[in-house]
Amino acid sequence: MWKRILLFLFTAVLALIGGGLAFLYWRHPSQAPASPVKVSMTAERIARGKYLFDHVADCGSCHSERDFTRVVGPLVPGHAGWGTDFSGFVLGLPGVVVAPNITPDRETGIGDWTDGQKIRAIREGVDKDGNALLPAMPYPSFRAMSDADVESVVAYLDSLPPIRHPLPKTRVDFPLNLLIKFLPQPAGHVSPPAGTDPVQYGEYLATIAQCRECHTPVDQNHRPLAGMDFAGGRVFSDQPGTVVSANITPDMDTGIGKWSLEFFQKKILEYKDYADHGSPRLAGPQAFTVMPWLSFCGLTPEDMRAIYAYVHSVRPVRHSVETHPGYKTTSITWAGGPPRA
């Protein structure tokens, strides 16, 4: 009698687990139909899209070829948007992770995608066929991108020369391949931020630039630690070395509370010479960084002021961070030479 009951319960549990897995496997992520919009290809819109692509959203860091033998891994000229297979040189990835070719090549890129499908992928994390994208593509942040700005990014993508560059498809390991289906959400209509409010506009830019994501420590499940927004301490390890993100809250002792606007701008612009004349060879793990200095040094003075206003408006958190553990590093308030974290 009891054996039959236990067998029945065991079979029922297996059926529930199997049914649940089958539901997750066949489940489509939350999504809205792709917009029928066809973006206008004006010079102004393409220029705005290029600015966002290159200097704010930093799309090229993943979707373009980079020279990681040099400081900050500068982009290889002529390979903008052609995609990158990260599985060969980034450690700890959950499967085969590929930033796809996003040039207008019809066979290996996104030349057969509609503009609405591109917009949906950028802001909602759903590809042309309705599949969820790995959030390494930071669509949770890009969801805040205004309609005008996302259309500008698409206009810039449409203006790129098509590059034939076949890449493998991303294959995410179980169970993450099922769990990511819960992340995409329709963005709906997104209005532009009020340009007259520097803090609000700075928050908009910092969100698209994913400042909070990199400068907030996470637990072992990669969830942000409560109360530690922008306080630094997130660890990034790869073959060149390990770097820990800095505290960029306005704490006076461990953050950037003592930084003036001029000093803040100077820190970002110290990489301008690298961007204009070529980055030097990587000189050991102490020079390794994932901060996109070469992208951010192209920010306009107005946008730097807005980001400065925003990060100085957040709650200060006392949290001392060693950006290059095990190596002699300079203080966060060091005034000479390029910042290193």
Bridge pairing between strands 84-85 and 235-238: unpaired
Question: Which run of H or of E encompasses 171?
Answer: strand 171-172
Phi/psi for 320 (5° steps) reads -75, 135
Kindly list the averaged pLDDT for each block of 10 residues, start to end, along the chain of length 341. Answer: 53 48 58 93 97 96 87 86 83 84 97 98 96 93 97 97 95 88 93 88 97 94 92 85 92 97 94 82 74 93 97 97 74 36 41
* Amino acid 283: pLDDT: 64
Rounded CA gap, 227 and 222, in Å? 15
Q: Give residues with Cβ within 8 angstroms of 131, minimum separation 6.
A: 28, 29
The pLDDT value recorded for residue 307 is 97
Query: Residue 246's closest CA among 309, 317, 300, 306?
Result: 317
**Residue 2: predicted pLDDT:** 55
Other beta carbons less than 10 A from residue 68's beta carbon: 15
CA separation for the pair 337, 341 (Å, rounded):
12
Q: Tokens standing for 166?
A: 């076949």
Q: Which helix (H) or strand (E) holds 236?
A: strand 235-238
Helix (H) or strand (E) holding 99: strand 98-99
**Which pLDDT score, from 0 to 100, does residue 48 have?**
98
Q: What is the DSSP letter of 243?
A: E
pTM, two decimal places: 0.87
* Contact predicate 154/103, CB 8 Å: no
